[in-house]
Amino acid sequence: MKRTLHALSPAVGILVALVAWWGVSRMVPDLPSPWRTWEESKIYILKPLEKRGEMDQGIGLLAYYSLLRVARGFLLGILIGTPLGFVLGVSKGLARMLDPVIQIMRPISPLAWLPLGLILFRKSEPAALFAIAVCSMWPTVINTMAGVRAIPQDYWNVAKVLRLSRFTTFTKVVVPATLPYIFTGYRLSLGIAWLVIVASEMLTGTPGVGGFLWQEYNSLIYAHILLAIVTIGIVGFALDRLMGMAEARLRTI
Amino acid sequence: MAFIEVAGVSKTFVSASGAREVLRNVTLSVERGEFVAIVGAMGSGKTTLLNLLAGLMPPDRGSVAVDGRAVEGVRHDAAIVFQNYSLLPWFSALENVRLAVAAACPSQSKAEQRARAVDALERVGLGNALQRRPGQLSGGMRQRVAIARAFAIEPDLLFLDEPFGALDALTRDTLQQELTRLCGSVGRPVTTVMITNNVEEAIVLADRIVPLSRGPRATLGASIPVTLPRPRSAAALLRDPAALRVRSTIIEALTEGAVSRVRLKRDSTDGPATVRLRPDATYDTAMVRLKPDPTSVAGVS
């Protein structure tokens, strides 16, 4: 009995959320109820890969566009962020020098970066990638840096005693010792990248879950906004779980 | 000139809470092939001294020279075994040893390096644990890997930093014997400096024991030669009168100043007496100071 309750409790949580949604939709006339949302969105869900127009596409396709964009931006972010983290972890002087810059750039919203990206690149797609990369790289930078700093003196001693070359020390000692930290950074970065995608698609109007959301809002089809919101949540959750699994697998220590 | 010459070495660590002079004016010489044990209490600066000898850090004043040349960094013919094993946990036992061999003998082929690493591990009885990671090995086995890693590069110089400090008494005993055997099997003199807080261990292994006074500002005392015949076993030495004399000499030297002098005032001859010791006093120091009637301290706790 207790065990069934234990297994059912997440379902109960979702049910409570749906009831709350329904309750609010009774009070706010513009907000579609869960049932109406389903009725008006099921074509997107049941035919997730159907393309009917630029924005009028199955939710699977829209999520795919967004994921592709996130993957590119995130990759760019960690390609810059990981080496930067290593350098800052090793060099205290450089870390001290760049610390104010990082601390100032970190809290800047993607909505603020995007116009700057548009000025720099003149096109919406690279501007979106720029915003994703520049917003999502900081957890990777900071975690990698912390990971390098947290390497126990023992391991540095091993490198010294065995007279390992700089390259060997890096590949055989520093990277494996830092890997768990790096992956925690990647996981956090990916979370942020997914947050940024919606904002950047909304501003640039490119096809994707966020672009779809904004367009449907402008077309006054509110049920589709809720569809987009739920999709964003579910995809974000799945991404986090996947990264968590990768993190657990690559645990070296 | 001795193989290792330490002359007037001092070392001070500066931290936020102020400067702390750990070693002051330490002088030591070690002959080629000699096994010297430096014995001191915890926190006496032993590890600092070993790090200076091994070239892991430079002294503030004074000089450290090996074979007539000043030590700058770890020498290529030196190996160090640490108390906490210092194995890389993401590598197997074999890979840990191979990393050392590859760094020490880059001219050898991969197969030769591997064979050497396997051989070193087999010599410490780990032939069937090559692929295991440190996390899957017991403390004794980990220290065996560390010892194999040290001997795999056939060092001229061996530095042992409390090598068996983290092991239980039985494992410690076995490994001490193995270390003696390994040192003898190299075929040429291996000069060894070991630091330890265990007097018995020093007596079992060393040719000469040098007491290190309590830090801060630790200095080395007069060395005590250990001329007992080898092989020595810890159990046998407990009954050997010559070994016991060495032991009490060392403990006397070590406890110089470590215990406040106390005079026992007892109302009756057989009642309990309370002695307050400084927190860093060890059981050994208590034993010595409660002489000349050691039988009466059976209940010291």
**pLDDT above 90 (res A144):** yes
A34: Cβ–Cβ under 8 A, 6 or more apart, which residues? A18, A21, A22, A25
**pLDDT above 90 (res B93):** yes
Instruction: Specify the pTM.
Output: 0.77
B82 shares contact with chain A (CB less than 8 Å) = yes
> What are the φ/ψ torsions at residue B124 (nearest 5 degrees)?
-100, 15
Window from B85-89, B164-168, B239-243, B266-270 with minimum mean pLDDT: B266-270
**pLDDT above 90 (res B130):** yes
Residue B41 — pLDDT band, cuts 50, 70, 90?
confident
pLDDT at position A59 is: 83
Tokens representing A10?
């997440």
- Please count the helices (runs of H) and the strands (runs of E) in chain B: 9, 10
pLDDT at position A123 is: 87
pLDDT at position B89 is: 92
Given A157, A162, A252, which is nearest B99 (Cβ)? A162
Residue A69 — pLDDT band, cuts 50, 70, 90?
very high
Q: Which of A155, A157, A166 should one mutate to test binding to chain B, selecting the residue with the greatest count of B CBs within 10 A? A: A157
pLDDT at position B99 is: 94
pLDDT at position B259 is: 43
How close does chain A come to B57, measured CA to CA in Å? 10
**pLDDT above 70 (res A129):** yes
Q: Is the ipTM of this complex over 0.85?
A: no
Strands B208-211 and B191-196: unpaired
Show which residues on chain A lie within 8 Å of chain B, measured between beta carbons: 154-155, 157-158, 160-165, 168, 172-173, 176-177, 252-253
Closest CA to A226 of A47, A15, A38: A38
pLDDT at position A238 is: 94
**pLDDT above 60 (res B296):** no
Measured between CA atoms, the residue of chain A closest to residue B85 is: A154
Averaged pLDDT, B187-196: 89
Residue of B98 and B294 predicted with greater confidence: B98
Q: What confidence tens digit (pLDDT) does each residue in A195-229 have?
A: 888 888 888 878 888 888 888 888 888 888 888 89
Strands B4-15 and B18-30: antiparallel
Residue A156 — pLDDT band, cuts 50, 70, 90?
very high
Contacts of B87 in chain A (CB under 8 A): 158
**pLDDT above 70 (res B205):** yes
Given B89, B90, B103, which is nearest A164 (Cβ)? B103
A69: Cβ–Cβ under 8 A, 6 or more apart, which residues? A125, A128, A129, A132, A197, A200, A201, A206, A208
In angstroms, how far is CA B195 from the centroid of its own chain?
A: 3
